[in-house]
Every structure is written in C-alpha cells, then in structure tokens.
C-alpha cells in the first residue's frame, strides 16, 4: 500500500496552496504599502498648494460650417465672436439680480393672446395639462390629420426668458404653417425653478398627451433651450 506516499502528497499539496495564499497576501500588503507611500508623498507635495477648484480651458477658434451658403457665412462673420472677458463681468451673481433681468425682459416683450390670434390666424387658449400651464393653439384651417396629431412646442430663452404668451408665438407660427394642433408648454423658468423643474414639466405634458393621442401621433421640437428640452425628453 502507498498510504504514506499519498498522505505525503496531500500534505505537500496543502503546503503549496498555503504558500500561494501567503504570497498573494504579501503581494497585496506590499501594494497597499506602496499606495500609502505614494499618497503620503502626493499630500506632502500638495498640502500647501492653493489650486483653484476648476479647470481653465483655452479658447479655441471656431470655423463656419462648409455647408453654409456664402451669404450666411458672411452674415455670421459680420456679427463677430463673443467678447468672453466682457461677458464674465456682465452676468449677475445673485438670485435677485437674475430675477430682475427676467422681469425686465418680460416687461419689454409683452404679447397677448389676441395679438397671436390676429397675427397668425390661429386660436390660442390658455390651459393646463398635468398641472402644467400650456397654450393650446388650433389652426383655423387644420390639416387632414390636424385633429389626430399634435405638435409639442418648447420655446427658447435660455431657461430664463420666454414665458407666458410670448413663448407661444413660435408655436402659433408652426400651427399656421402646418395646420397641426400645437401645445406650447409654458414650462417653469429660472431662477425661481431650477433644474430639473422645466424638464419635469415637459415630461409630464408629454406623458399626458401620449395617453390621449398615442406616441406615434406626437411630434416635439423647439428652439434654443426648447430644443435641448425636446432632446432631453426624448432621451
């Protein structure tokens, strides 16, 4: 019988396994020590460094798209690029200052529903959908599918401007041209309603209309901030 030899083999295998585990533990311990040493050295070299909590990205030269027509490219070139340094001093730094700018812009751009009706030949009604204020815009001469389809319009304005009837002007133009019913969402604006208030409003309106018309019968779009909201909602 080879029992002693078998026992010796088993013991030898156990010893090899134990040694392997021991070596793995030693390697992990050494790695931890190295990491601690590196961390200590980094802290020692950076403890007195007062670095800004931001990155500075160098300005880049932006060229006009080659797909633009020559008149458009010339018009854009005539406008000129933004004065970045000047813009840094123009933006408000407090809630009240931002609100004052929004109020001033709204006061200077007063639009009534009667004006929109007469200007675009549509009927604009103020309503609420899912608790969100909207302007329901119906064309006088609806398209063949104007009653079964709806366009969700999202106005621009940098999430700060464009609320009220003024925001529905673009939607009224869309209704007049396409013959579709347009729902222009009067979503919450800054600074009173920070992110994600505006997006939540648009999503709520979309879900309510999707239950009524079905997703396949809904189109959505907007300009500037409205375009971003449309993309975020679809995403």
The whole-number pLDDT of residue 13 equals 52
| Alpha carbon distance 166, 171 (integer Å) | 10
**CATH superfamily to which 111-234 belongs:** Alpha/Beta hydrolase fold, catalytic domain (3.40.50.1820)
The torsion defined by the Cα of 144, 115, 132 and 97, in degrees rounded to 10, comes to: 140
From the first residue on, what is the mean pLDDT of each consecutive set of 10 residues in the chain (235 residues)? 51 53 55 46 48 63 81 85 78 90 91 94 97 96 80 96 94 94 97 94 97 95 95 90
82 is written with which tokens? 């933004």
Q: What is the pLDDT of residue 172?
A: 96
Enumerate the β-bridge partners of residue 123. 138
CA distances to 110, 126, 176, 186, 207 from 114, rounded to whole Å, are: 12, 12, 15, 17, 29
| pLDDT score recorded for residue 17 | 52
CA distance 154 to 138: 16
DSSP per-residue string spanning the chain: --HHHHHHHHHHHHHHHHHHHHHHHHHHHHHHHHHHHHHHHHHHHHTT----SS--PPP-PPPPPTTS-HHHHHHHHHH----HHHHHHHS--SHHHHHHHHHHHHHHT---HHHHHHHHTEEEEEEEETTEEEEEEEESS--TTTTT-EEEEE--STTTS--GGGGGHHHHHHHHHH--EEEEE----TTTS-TTHHHHHHHHHHHHHHHHH-GGGEEEEESTHHHHHHHHHH-
Sketch the domain layout of the chain as residue ranges. 111-234
Q: How far apart are CA 154 and CA 161, in angstroms?
A: 12
Rounded CA separation 180/176 (Å) = 8
N-terminal to C-terminal alpha carbon distance within the chain: 74
User: Whole-model pTM?
Assistant: 0.66
């Amino acid at each position: 019988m080879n029992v002693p030899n078998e026992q010796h083999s088993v013991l030898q295998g156990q010893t090899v396994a134990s040694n392997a585990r021991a070596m793995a533990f030693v390697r992990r311990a050494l790695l931890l020590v190295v990491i601690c040493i590196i961390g200590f050295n980094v802290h020692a070299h950076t403890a007195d460094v007062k670095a800004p909590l931001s990155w500075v990205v160098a300005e880049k030269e932006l060229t006009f798209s080659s797909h633009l027509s020559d008149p458009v490219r010339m018009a854009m070139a005539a406008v000129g690029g933004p004065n970045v340094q000047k813009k840094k001093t123009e933006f408000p730094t407090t809630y009240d200052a931002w609100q004052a700018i929004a109020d001033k812009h709204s006061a200077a751009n007063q639009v009534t529903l009667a004006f929109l009706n007469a200007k675009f030949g549509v009927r604009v009604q103020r309503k609420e959908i899912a608790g969100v204020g909207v302007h329901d815009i119906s064309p006088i001469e609806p398209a063949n599918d104007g009653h079964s389809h709806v366009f969700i319009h999202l106005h621009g304005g940098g999430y700060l401007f464009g609320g009220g009837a003024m925001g529905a002007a673009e939607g009224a133009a869309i209704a007049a041209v396409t013959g579709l019913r347009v729902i222009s969402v009067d979503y919450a604006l800054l600074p009173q309603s920070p992110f994600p208030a505006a997006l939540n409003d648009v999503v709520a309106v979309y879900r309510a209309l999707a239950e009524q018309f079905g997703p396949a019968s809904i189109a959505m779009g907007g300009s500037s901030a409205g375009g971003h909201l449309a993309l975020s909602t679809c995403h």
